[in-house]
Amino acid sequence: MEVNNSPTPVPSPLSPIDQTHQDLVAKSANPEMFASLSILLQLVLLGSAFVCGHILRRRKIYWMHEAGSALLMGVVVGLLSRIFNTEEAFRRWLNFSNEFFLLFLLPPIIFESGFSLQVKSFFENFGAIALFAFVGTFIAAIVTGVIMYVVGFLWLSYQLPFVECLIFGALISATDPVTVLAIFQELGGDVNLYALVFGESILNDAVAIVLYRTLVSVVANPEQHRNIYDPAVVFLTILMGSLAIGTVVALACALLFKYAGLAVNNLHNLESCLVILFPYCAYMMADGLSLSGIVAILFNGVLMKHYALPNLSDKAQENVTQFFRLIATLAETFVFIYMGVAIFNTEQSWTHVSFTFFAIIAILAARAANVFPLSYIINTIRPRSKNIPMAHQKALWFSGLRGAMAFALALQSIEDLPTGHGKVMFTTTTAIVVLTVLGVGGSTAEVLRRLDLLGDDFQPLAGEALDGAGEEAGLMRSGNGESDYTPPSSPTSRGSLQMRLKNFQRAAKQYMPEANGTFLETVDKKYIRPFFTTASEEDLTRVESQANGQGPQAEVGEVSSPPEVTSRPPRRLASREGMPGFNPRQKDELPPVRPPT
């Protein structure tokens, strides 16, 4: 046997080029580099989405809106990342993180929704909004779940257990009509229809997430929920507990700034910093107690704007309002980019196309079962002159887009339902979100035009207030005090109920002749606001107008004067462009309207 005594070859030293290449390969394993590049890419996408949205608005292109363009940009980047098989460390930073969404993106969006709410039109329509949001969401979840269970039982699509069908119905019932509301702001429309769509959407998110968590707890612990009352108790506990936390934190904030004396010592930076902390305290407290942070921060926003904001100095009020609006705009646009990127970076289950097809049919039927029967009930209770017309009902049905909340709950279902059913729900929800944001959102302007719900001559919808309050608010009456709606000519069987309502109104006016609005408004003005705020009624009106982005405008060629104090809100959402005093920088705000003279 021969032995090879030749010396072992010594590797030649690397050339400078090879050494540089090896160093780059070694550096590429650095996760910080991938994180930086991924975040940089997302920042570029975010800026591009804002520029694209501005161009679309400037050119009056309504078949594609900012949310849709942001979603498409994310889809393209996610698809390219999947095709070129980018590094796992890079794609991990692009993936949709439920924790990041629920802890950092969603809270400012929900809080600003409540903080910028037009309280008067919201609460004058609160009966209808609450009915659509609470009862309507429950109806939509049940109808969707039953349809999907029946379709699966007949072997027409993927089969799920009944409770899991209800879970899918709950998560897909979370609406996000951001495109519809943006079109309303852009083209002008009825302020009360806007309040119905907007109010239902923010309360609907809260109800959907509470209902989802309740049903998931039933799946996780079936022996603890053997009767129908246990889930109902869990639902009410989460809802009322979260509402109480948001309320207590907001009122504590109001009392702190009422008695701290910061507003008179030129400490507006300190005021602003402290106020910004309270919403997150409410959100984290509710989540830490296994309640709903969404419900808590929503009502916290409504009440902080109503009671805490007037106790701040003028500079702090301006800082806080602009900060919340800015953060919410950034978060909302980023959410759509985030969703688009995650569509191709998350494992999907595209083998059950029939489930997606029947799910689309189910949500359309569930939305109809929600809107039209409840509108009939509302019209039965309301005076005939304040009915919700059929065109408004169709707009409500059409505005049921699905967005970030449904997407996040579906992603969470992958972990909550370990049987693999969560992946089917997530894939179906992804397809529905893309179809509704691009398809429904793109056709919104044309549908609203066909329903004659846009334009300067469109008349507003009646509010929920008593006759005197509705007239004072200017939400229903025209200049001569006549109703803007023609009562139906067909006879109805609700005369007795209407007579009882009128008798109740007369009795209320006898005991409260000084009331300018509803009973709740009267109690608020006489007892609650004086206890929690130090501002006068004129200051409170000015604060609400500034927070809502309202105020009179100057005529062309005039110098804009300070906002005139008025307790009468704008009659409608007027079209921005072509108005006197139009400022392109105010494109993302509710358009100001001159008060009636």
581 against 338, higher pLDDT: 338
- So what's the pLDDT on residue 9? 55
Q: What is the pLDDT of residue 161?
A: 92
3-state class of 573 per DSSP? strand
Q: Quickly state the pLDDT bin for 356 (edges 50, 70, 90).
A: very high
In a domain, 474, yes or no: no
Question: Using CA atoms, how far apart are residues 174 and 488, in angstroms rounded to an integer?
Answer: 34
Q: What is the pLDDT of residues 122-140, one digit of tens each?
A: 777 888 888 998 999 999 9
List the one residue out of 292, 362, 361 whose CA is nearest residue 140: 362
Predicted local distance difference test score (pLDDT) of residue 571: 38
Q: What's the pLDDT score for residue 397?
A: 92
In the prediction, which pLDDT does 498 show? 44
Least confident of 243-252, 334-343, 479-488: 479-488
Q: Is residue 491 part of a domain?
A: no
* Residue 166 confidence (pLDDT) above 60: yes
For residue 238, pLDDT beyond 70: yes
The residue with greater pLDDT, 593 or 168, is 168
Q: What does the pLDDT look like over 310-320, one tens digit per residue?
A: 999 999 999 99
pLDDT at 266 over 60: yes
Residue 155 confidence (pLDDT) above 70: yes
Lowest model confidence (mean pLDDT) among 176-180, 190-194, 445-449, 574-578:
574-578
- Give me the mean pLDDT over the 285-301 stretch: 91
Cα 402 to Cα 3, 142, 182, 201, 265: the distances in Å are 76, 17, 15, 10, 47
Per-residue pLDDT at 230: 76
Which residue stretches of 512-553 are H helix? 519-523, 529-532, 537-547
Residue with the bigger pLDDT between 133 and 460: it is 133
Mean pLDDT of 462-489: 34
- CA nearest 97: which of 297, 416, 430, 339? 339
pLDDT bracket for residue 179 (50, 70, 90):
low
Which of 235-249, 429-443, 566-580 is predicted least confidently? 566-580
In a domain, 225, yes or no: yes
pLDDT for residue 311? 92
Joined tokens for residue 332: 């909302």
Most confident among 56-65, 88-97, 276-285, 483-492 (mean pLDDT): 276-285
Question: In which element (H, E) is residue 306 found?
Answer: none
Whether residue 180 lies inside any domain: the answer is yes
Residue 9 lies in a domain: no
Mean pLDDT, the chain, as a whole number?
A: 75
Alpha helices (H) in 382-420, listed in sequence order = 390-398, 404-416
| 346 touches 426 (CB < 8 A) | yes
Whether 190 is covered by a domain: the verdict is yes
DSSP 8-state assignment for residue 491: -
Q: Which domain holds residue 256?
A: 98-329+348-423+433-451
pLDDT band at 546 (very low <50, low <70, confident <90, very high): low
pLDDT at 19: 53
Please state, for a pLDDT cut of 90, what percent of the chain lies above it: 27
Q: What percent of the chain has pLDDT over 70?
A: 70
pLDDT at position 368, please? 95
Buried b (16+ CB within 10 A) or exposed e, 236-252: eebbebbbebbbebbbe
Q: How far apart are the first and last CA of the chain?
A: 114
Q: What is the pLDDT of residue 561?
A: 40
Strands (E), 338-494: none
Q: How many domains, in total, are found in the chain?
A: 1
pLDDT of residue 111: 92
Average the pLDDT over 278-301 and give the result: 92
Helix H or strand E segment including 370: helix 353-381
More confident residue, 479 or 228: 228
Give 388-436 pLDDT, tens digit per residue. Answer: 889 989 988 988 888 888 888 888 898 888 778 888 999 899 899 988 8
pLDDT tens readout for residues 188-209: 667 778 878 888 887 888 888 8
User: In angstroms, rounded to a whole number, what is the distance separating the alpha carbons of residues 582 and 592?
Assistant: 9
Contact call for residues 121 and 463 (beta carbons, < 8 A): yes
pLDDT at residue 472 in the model: 31
**In angstroms, what CA-CA distances link 224 with 69, 166, 287?**
46, 18, 22
Residue 96: pLDDT band (50, 70, 90) is confident
Closest CA to 591 of 542, 563, 552, 544: 552
Q: What is the pLDDT of residues 360-397, one digit of tens each?
A: 999 999 999 999 999 999 999 888 877 888 998 998 89
Asked whether the CA dihedral 263, 266, 268, 273 is positive or negative, the reply is: negative
Residue found by looking up tokens 């009179």 in the block: 552
398: CATH: 1.20.1530
CB 291 within 8 A of CB 241: yes
Q: Is there a contact between 66 and 377 (Cβ–Cβ < 8 Å)?
A: no
- Quick: pLDDT tens for 40-90: 988 999 999 999 989 988 888 878 888 889 999 999 988 888 887 766 767
Which residues neighbour 473 within 8 Å (Cβ) at sequence distance 6 or greater?
120, 121, 124, 463, 465, 517, 568, 569
351 pLDDT band, cuts 50/70/90, is: confident
Query: Is residue 478 one of the residues assigned to a domain?
Result: no
pLDDT band for position 2 (cuts 50, 70, 90): low
Backbone dihedral region for residue 573 (phi beyond 0: left; psi -120 to 50: alpha; all else: beta): beta
Q: What is the amino acid identity at position 448?
A: L
Average pLDDT for 432-453: 85
What is the rounded distance in angstroms from the CA atom of residue 54 to the CA atom of residue 381? 43
Alpha-carbon radius of gyration of the chain: 27
Longest dimension (CA), the chain: 121
Alpha-carbon distance 253 to 259, whole Å?
A: 10
H helix runs in 154-228, sequence order: 162-172, 178-187, 191-220
More confident residue, 356 or 62: 356
Residue 103 lies in a domain: yes
